[in-house]
A and B are shown apart, each in its own frame.
Chain A
Amino acid sequence: MPVFVLKRLLGAVPVLFAVSLFVFGFVRLLPGDPARLVAGADATEQEVASARAALGLDRPIWEQYLRYAGATLHGDFGVSSRTHEPVMAVIGARFLPTLWLTLAAMGWATLTGGLLGVWAGVKRGRWQDQAAMLVAIGGLSFPGFWLGLLLIDLFSVHLGWLPTGGYDGWRSLLMPSFTLGVGVAAVLARFTRSAFVDVAGEDFVRTARSKGLTERRVIWRHAARNALIPVVTLTGLEFGTLLGGAIVVETVFAWPGLGRLLVDSISFRDYPVIQALILLLSAEFVLINLVVDVLYGVLNPAIRLRS
């Protein structure tokens, strides 16, 4: 087991390296001279040159990358060009809201999606199955930002039950986390159903049934348990969808998280913050998938032993 975990960890290193190269190159590909951007529009040639030296842009490209990588590993992402605060502080203030939002969405979505999928699988071919899958494909096709606006219109504007947005206690979390989770719940329901249907045809399920176990025990102890193994992998991948979806949902509900920070930073061309956010969110996604990979190995010995 430790060897398996170590192998997966080492496998993530080149990916993270390539991601950092991409993000490093990203700023260099931008139109315009960053030194001139920092020095200001009416700076003299000399001021631009000193800004360039201060940013280290006069050094060879590999040295610039090493400096960047070194600073990044020490948690130094530079200074926001909008607020002139350290990028880490700007991002740190926005981290918790996004964490709560994604956890709440993931929580209800996995539970609902998994249960709906198993239920549809048990009732396969009957109207309950078709109804559940219709709901799922509808959820998959629903634009998150539209759903958000409809919810605000109904629960905030017309009924006045919930706040239209902002970050203020659990009531403000209800609509954003629901909106964010719908797509994920739909994907999981579809996937769980097909995994369950596959497993239900296996010999061990027939054996369990033939030895006289109750139907409930066959479904939950034998079929669902095995069907949920591949679902774990998908759940990890869906975290990526959530991180992307959070960008839209946070915009709709004025939620002060990382997604909205990214959108605002893009409109203000605050490149240090954009760069850091893309790097951190990608690294987070890679790490989540690493955890999922390891978890998959724990749940399924065949994978663990093969590698």
Chain B
Amino acid sequence: MTTSAIRSPAREFWRRFRRRHTALLAAAIIALIVFAAVFAPYIAPYDPAAADYDALLQAPTWAHLAGTDSYGRDILSRIIWGGRVSLAVGLISAFAGGFIGTIMGLVSGWSGDWVDTLLMRLCDVLFAFPGLLLAIAVVALLGPGVGNVIWAVAVFSVPVFARLVRGSTLVLKQTQYVQAARSIGVSRFRLILHHILPGALPAVIVYMSLRIGSAILVGAALSFIGLGAQPPSSEWGAMLADGRSYLGVADHLTLFPGLAIFVVVLCFNILGDGLRDALNQKLQ
């Protein structure tokens, strides 16, 4: 028997993913943006909150690569700092929603009795609210602010992951290796954690990366309509709302923050597609 035919799933994944050049490029850009956001104090050329009344609404120059806003604040610096907020909203809410949803799905699919019925009906109810509307309801309840937006977006991601993982769990429960593990008396907790979860994880990873993109969009949309990050913050959606009054006068105020959102979301979506193909997952 040749050993070359047997590769670990991780190596097999890497072998396939490596060939998807656009996905690799997207991952590199995301890494770059995350790096810039984390090290914002060292990278941003100016203080994002420092007003300069001698340089109001300036178009891009060498001194201010993305121009200045109505207070003379450097837009590039604000975008770099704002990335912290947008990325935090996307990453934390997608991970929180994915984590809670995955646990719900595992419990639901494994137990299969009234617990399953109860959890799935709960998902039905959450699904009954159109995505952004549920987020808005949560924000209306808790009040505007970034922290509440993260919760709001996480809540509406939960049912998606719960259904996804429940489906995989139902299938994996019937596989021979799980039945075999069960028959030799492996504990329920261990079974779910070591035998079911790894099988359900690829789908979760793919969905999560697609979810991060839409979470960033929803977070920015909430800030844009005034329910998310509040004015002094340089969150990208809030910056767009700010630049709205200067359309036609200073277009760079809306151009650059919008471009930032678009590029980040596009990269997460391309990465998600690449992961889906490399992990051989059929979703959508």
Contact = CB atoms under 8 A, between A and B. Distances in A.
Interface of A: 14-16, 18-19, 22, 26, 29-30, 137-138, 140-146, 149-150, 152-153, 157-158, 190-191, 194, 239-241, 243-245, 247-248, 251, 262-263, 266-267, 274, 278, 281-282, 285-286
B266 interface: yes
Given A248-B225, A266-B140, A152 B247 contact: yes
A187 B39 CA distance: 35
B251 interface: yes
Contact of B131 (A145, A149, A241): A241
A141 B210 CA distance: 10
B258 interface: yes
Interface string B254-284: 1001100110011001100100000000101
A29 B257 CA distance: 36
Contacts, number: 123
Nearest to B124: A15
B266 A145 contact: no
B71 interface: no
Given A15-B124, A263-B226, A281-B133, 4 more contacts: A137-B266, A141-B266, A285-B129, A286-B128
Contacts of A157: 247-248
B140 A274 contact: yes
A141 B269 contact: yes
B128 A282 contact: yes
Name the 3 nearest CB pairs between A and B, nearest first. Answer: A244-B132, A146-B258, A240-B130
A251 B284 contact: no
A18 B126 CA distance: 10
B136 interface: yes
B269 A137 contact: yes
B273 A15 contact: no
Contact of A281 (B130, B266, B269): B130
Interface of B: 121, 124-125, 128-133, 136-137, 139-141, 213, 217, 220-221, 224-227, 237, 240, 243-244, 247-248, 251, 254, 257-258, 261-262, 265-266, 269-270, 273, 282, 284
Interface-central residue, B124, B130, B227, by most chain A CB under 10 Å: B130
A282 B129 contact: yes
B265 A143 contact: yes
A251 B133 contact: no
Secondary structure of the A contact surface, majority rule: helix
B284 A191 contact: yes
A150 B254 contact: yes
Given A247-B225, A263-B225, A158 B129 contact: no
B244 A19 contact: no
Given A149-B247, A149-B254, A14 B128 contact: no
Contact of B261 (A18, A146, A150, A251): A146
Contacts of A144: 221
Interface-central residue, B124, B237, B270, by most chain A CB under 10 Å: B124
A278 B265 contact: no
A267 B73 CA distance: 27
Given A143-B217, A149-B240, A149-B254, A244 B125 contact: no
A83 to B, nearest CB: 18
Contact of B133 (A16, A137, A158, A244): A244
B133 A138 contact: no
A79 B131 CA distance: 27
A30 B140 CA distance: 9
Given A153-B248, A153-B251, A18 B220 contact: no
Contacts of A18: 121, 124-125, 128
A143 B130 contact: no
Contacts of A239: 130
B226 A267 contact: yes
Contacts of B227: 263, 266
Interface-central residue, A22, A143, A190, by most chain B CB under 10 Å: A143
B218 to A, nearest CB: 8
17 contacts: A15-B121, A15-B124, A137-B269, A137-B270, A142-B262, A143-B220, A143-B221, A145-B240, A146-B257, A146-B261, A149-B243, A190-B284, A194-B284, A243-B130, A247-B225, A263-B225, A281-B130
Interface-central residue, A29, A30, A149, A190, by most chain B CB under 10 Å: A149
Nearest to A14: B121
Nearest to B125: A18
A171 B132 CA distance: 27
B258 A150 contact: yes
B133 A243 contact: yes
